[in-house]
Structure 1
Amino acid sequence: MKITKLKTWQVPPRWLFLKIETDEGCYGWGEPVIEGRAATVEAAVHELSDYLIGQDPHRIEHLWNIMYRAGFYRGGPILMSAIAGIDQALWDLKGRDLGVPVHQLLGGAVRDKMRMYAWTGGDRPSDVGAGAKALVEKGFTAFKMNGTPEMQIVDSHRKIDEAVARVAEARNAVGPDVGIGIDFHGRVHRPMAKALLREL
């Protein structure tokens, strides 16, 4: 079996999907993307295809090392995201070819069920509570939300108070037993994070 093609699809607003195809009709899917840099990662995937076309897709570790070590420059978020998506697709392809779930190839399942969460936003504080409550009504026992807008390296305590109020609104809407994940998206520098975490 040989790899014949790497096809990509950019899907708005920020996703990139990859399909690796072979000469025997077997294929695998991966997601090689960094949010906001889908086109850049897509270009890296197609550049890496030069190493992959004609290769045996079952030699996953060998191909990973070729992709990582064959170029002069290594690492970085773009290259590693491209390699990660290709790696996913290769494992998916191998699992499909062997007729087993990929977890069987990686040592077996580690759990019978997994808690799921959903995204509720949080940029508009007045919508946080309603959004969280709607997710709980759909059956979710946890959700993730934005914690705060961008903060300066040293900022006012007012922004901390606003973030605490936003999370409190969500907590009040769903009660004490629902999990809340707070995503700061790199918007909070270390000095403000110490104060914010203390208050939260």
Structure 2
Amino acid sequence: MTRISRIETFLVAPRWLFVRIETDSGIVGWGEASCEGRSETVRTAVDQLSELLIGNDALRIEDHWQVMTKGSFYRGGPILASAVSGLDQALWDIAGKHFNTPVHQLLGGHVRDRIRMYGWVGGDEPNEVADQISAQLEVGLTAVKMNASGRMSPIASVAELDGVVRRVAAAREVLGDHRDVAVDFHGRFSLANARRVAPLLEPYRPFFLEEPVVPENTHLL
């Protein structure tokens, strides 16, 4: 049995939280439990969940996941999910090292030999969009993701909506018709704003719109 002997967390500026699990056999696993703006809170959750893990077999990963997610009266939420995620990743890291095999083999083997990637660009200003997209195209990428906007009013003005459209239009002009642009709203839009701006972006064929509203309102879209 490979028992969990120690669990530590490491905050890394500006927003990351890493989890380190050590076993009595000397195997160490690492995971990430970051929750933007709430990593210190997640750190406390990891400490509390550690009480359920220390002294137990590190290889009973599914058992630990069930206990951590369903073993208390109050369940769910981004804080708990982030804490469990970091611990779960670290346990799988330990399992891969214990069995001397890549973790993806333990999870069923790889599926694809190639995967398409996109590059992040800013998106706050139309001229910045053009320059940053050009740089991504030079390294061979065929898709980018950009900000839709900064802070938005609950009921956006025409000028605010037009600003979003101008940014995406600038991206499309650089990308042409054979590359893609995804637009990240970062949950900054109210439901009304999201419904107003989405049709305005249709002529520019966005690859996808990410997080137009906060997660708890997704079902209303």
Displacement after TM superposition at 1:181 (Å): 1.3
2:164 and 2:53 mapped to 1: Cα distance?
47
Displacement after TM superposition at 1:4 (Å): 1.0
Q: Which residue is 1:26 aligned to?
A: 27
Structure 1 stretches (4+) deviating beyond 4 angstroms? none
Displacement after TM superposition at 1:71 (Å): 2.8
2:44 and 2:194 mapped to 1: Cα distance?
35
Q: Which residue is 1:45 aligned to?
A: 46
Q: Quick one: percent identity of the two aligned structures?
A: 49
Per mean C-alpha deviation after superposition, the further-off stretch among 22-31 and 120-129 is: 120-129
User: What is the letter of the counterpart of residue 179 of structure 2?
Assistant: V
Q: Which residue is 2:131 aligned to?
A: 130
If the length of structure 1 is used for normalisation, what is the TM-score?
0.94
**Secondary structure, counterpart of 1:30 in structure 2:** strand
If the length of structure 2 is used for normalisation, what is the TM-score?
0.86
1:68 and 1:23 mapped to 2: Cα distance?
25
1:192 and 1:93 mapped to 2: Cα distance?
45
Q: Which has the higher contact order (CA 8 A, sep 6+)?
A: 1
1:124 and 1:10 mapped to 2: Cα distance?
32
User: What is the letter of the counterpart of residue 40 of structure 2?
Assistant: A
Unmatched tracts of structure 1, length 5 or more: none
Displacement after TM superposition at 1:92 (Å): 1.5
1:118 and 1:83 mapped to 2: Cα distance?
28
Superposition pairs of residues 47-126 of structure 1, within 5 angstroms: 47-126=48-127
1:141 and 1:6 mapped to 2: Cα distance?
41
Q: Deviations over 1:129-159 (max 9, x none)?
A: 1011111112222211100123233221221
Displacement after TM superposition at 1:100 (Å): 1.4
Unmatched tracts of structure 2, length 5 or more: 202-221
Displacement after TM superposition at 1:63 (Å): 0.6
The number of equivalent residue pairs is 200
User: What is the letter of the counterpart of residue 133 of structure 2?
Assistant: A
